[in-house]
Amino acid sequence: MASSGEQWWRDAVIYQVYPRSWADSNGDGIGDLPGITARLPHLADLGVDAIWLSPFYTSPQHDAGYDVADYRDVDPVFGDLAAFDRLAARAHELGLRVIVDIVPNHSSDEHPWFVEALASPAGSPERARYIFRDGRDGGTQAPNNWQSLFGGPAWTRVNEPDGKPGQWYLHLFDTTQPDFDWTNPEVRTELEDVLRFWLDRGVDGFRIDVAHGLVKADGLPDADLSHDRHADATALAPMWDQPGVHEIYRSWRRLTDSYATEGEDADRILCAEAWVLPAEALAKYVREDELHQSFNFEYLMTPWLAADQRATITHSLAQAEAVGAPQTWVLSNHDVVRHATRLGYPQTPGLQKIEGIGADDPQPDAELGLRRARAATAVMLALPGSAYLFQGEELGLPEATQLPDEARQDPTFARTNGTSVGRDGCRVPIPWEGGVPSYGFGPGDESWLPQPVEYGLLAADRQRHEPDSTLTLYQDLLRLRRELRLGRGALTWLDGFGDDVLAFRVESAKGAVIVLANLGSGEVPLPDGKTVLAGSLPRHHGAFVRTDETVWLRP
């Protein structure tokens, strides 16, 4: 295995920037690359190691850029290639690595290949880059029963070049996102070439979109529709986690390894977005000759209950260790309800719901949600391995749960006729400055989704240098985590604190902490003679760990 130096990714904290919602430089209400570049010092101050940028490629934006029309260019909404180069250079100057998103499962229907496929006859090489099939029942019914993750059938019938209804194509997501056929070598070559394009531009790695979906079961058999993508085992579904994906990733790993420079800490990394359970199946993606990391979504979906947390953390660590990979930890991203809101609901054993919340749904207890979110983050940032943060969680932002229907843009909303409100609630533009239009998101008052008023109070400038703010908490935890190298540490559970307390020690070559998270209803006495290094709640002077509080102690 060509690998170099320290392997920075083993304990990296990686911050997800969702380009359309982070910072807008030109006042059109949509975030862009120059906006990101200007705000990068915020991340250097925060103390993260890398950024991951969601897609900024040429796209009709039917799925916020996860529908790529040109993998080698920047959408004019976000800037251009020169703007990307400036962003990457500035990030590197500030000591931040840059990870970009690769979307290999599907392209946009505006990708030249798909345009050519539509203009070409059934059975042509142009069609063979996607999954075109004849329909059932004389062509009138979809080739199988697969459903789009955004609602409705996963197949759309096309009009042939002669104008008559003809074949169907597969799209696991929106109609405008046709799935590639990964049995076609041309597809493999093309996507590897795209990886090379961005590696040559100096990116430090890729987050792989829908990494478990590229290969479909032979013959495209009907699916058992009782399985849900997030909560159930994916093992039985003919479109998910097929054994053939692993060969693709072995080949990608050989490619990224060829960019690692001997003796320098310059690995280029690959991280899978794979909604795969159980953890044993997910661990296969990070075997030594495959990907570096995969998101631990099971952790994200674990309720804030001590027994569930302990079980997930324990077996997550064991599974990663069994294959020699670092575990990753994540609580929020652009597809799920923000954790400051998720945790504001009653917690029940088993994996938790992560789907969007609308104005007609029961509303969370916002104060409780934030209190628990801060405690959960203080647990996460002590854990060995690598952690992913989603933009705005360092401000304690809640989900926008009251967006008007007219504002919603996630295709899920329309495709399910509003039954599922979709993911817009976590994608609302970031408040940088309280009391100015768009809370400083851009120079004007435009923001592509309306910002809730409470975002003004949580603006970054109101939290900076405030000892009790969520932003300061994140900074403190990240600084300690780095100083003590907790990401490289080993975790031992501690007894004697009761069933409702997560009590563990993490020790590395550079130091150690004892972490106590109280998920019970009573106060828990602090052990005698230990210094509090950090606490998730303001002003910790008591000799207790309060309910939904996490403290870090010097052993």
Part of the chain binding Ca ion (CB under 5 A), chosen from 28-36, 117-125, 194-202, 449-457 = 28-36
Look up residue 139 and give its two tokens: 């062509």
Residue 26 within binding range of Ca ion, rule CB under 5 A? yes
Query: Is 367 among the catalytic positions?
Result: no
How many helices (H) does the chain have, and how many strands (E)?
14, 20
- Joined together, the tokens standing for residue 180 give 């590639």
- Looking at the Cβ atoms of 103 and 553, the one nearer to ligand GLC is 103
Q: Which of the ranges 25-33, 415-423, 466-474, 491-499 carries the binding residues for Ca ion, by CB under 5 A? A: 25-33
Cα 347 from Cα 29, distance rounded (Å): 36
CB of 168 or CB of 173, closer to ligand GLC: 173
Buried residues in 387-421 as b, exposed as e (16+ CB within 10 A)? bbbbbbbbbbbbbbbebeeeebbbbbbebbeeebb
Please choose, out of 18-26, 42-50, 352-360, 547-555, the segment that lies near Ca ion by the rule CB under 5 A.
18-26
Q: Is 83 in the site for Ca ion (CB under 5 A)?
A: no
Q: Which of 18, 57, 155, 173 binds ligand GLC (CB under 6 A)?
A: 173
Q: Which residue among the candidates 174, 273, 298, 410 is catalytic per the annotation?
A: 273
The conformation of residue 172, written as its DSSP 8-state character, comes to S
Q: Tell me: does residue 365 bind Ca ion (CB under 5 A).
A: no
Q: Give just the sign of the alpha carbon dihedral 235, 236, 240, 242.
A: positive
Distances (CA, A) of 526 to 451, 491, 493: 40, 20, 16
| 446 is a contact residue toward Ca ion (CB under 5 A) | no
Q: Is 209 a catalytic residue?
A: yes
- Give the closest residue to 210 by CA, choosing from 236, 240, 184, 235: 240
What residue has token string 């569930």? 308
What's the angle, vertex CA 131, arms to CA 127 and CA 134, rounded to 5? 85
Residue 24 touches Ca ion, criterion: CB under 5 A: yes
Q: Which does 103 bind (CB under 5 to 8 A by kind): ligand GLC, Ca ion, none?
A: ligand GLC
Q: How far is the CB of 411 from ligand GLC (least distance, A)?
A: 8
**In angstroms, what is the minimal distance from the CB of 30 to Ca ion?**
5
Consecutive H or E run containing 246: helix 245-257
Q: 29 or 202: whose CB is closer to Ca ion?
A: 29
Cβ 324 vs Cβ 301: under 8 Å: no
Nearer to ligand GLC, 387 or 480 (CB): 387
**CA–CA separation, 460 and 431 (whole Å):** 7
Q: Judge residue 23's burial from the number of C-beta atoms within 10 Å of its C-beta, 0-12 exposed, 13-18 middle, 19 or more buried.
A: buried
Among 24, 179, 181, 209, binds ligand GLC (CB under 6 A): 209
Site for ligand GLC contains 335 (CB under 6 A)? yes
Draw the binding track, 94-113, toward ligand GLC (x: CB under 6 A; -: no contact).
---------x----------
What is the contact surface with ligand GLC in residues (CB under 6 A)? Answer: 63, 66, 103, 173, 209-210, 273, 334-335
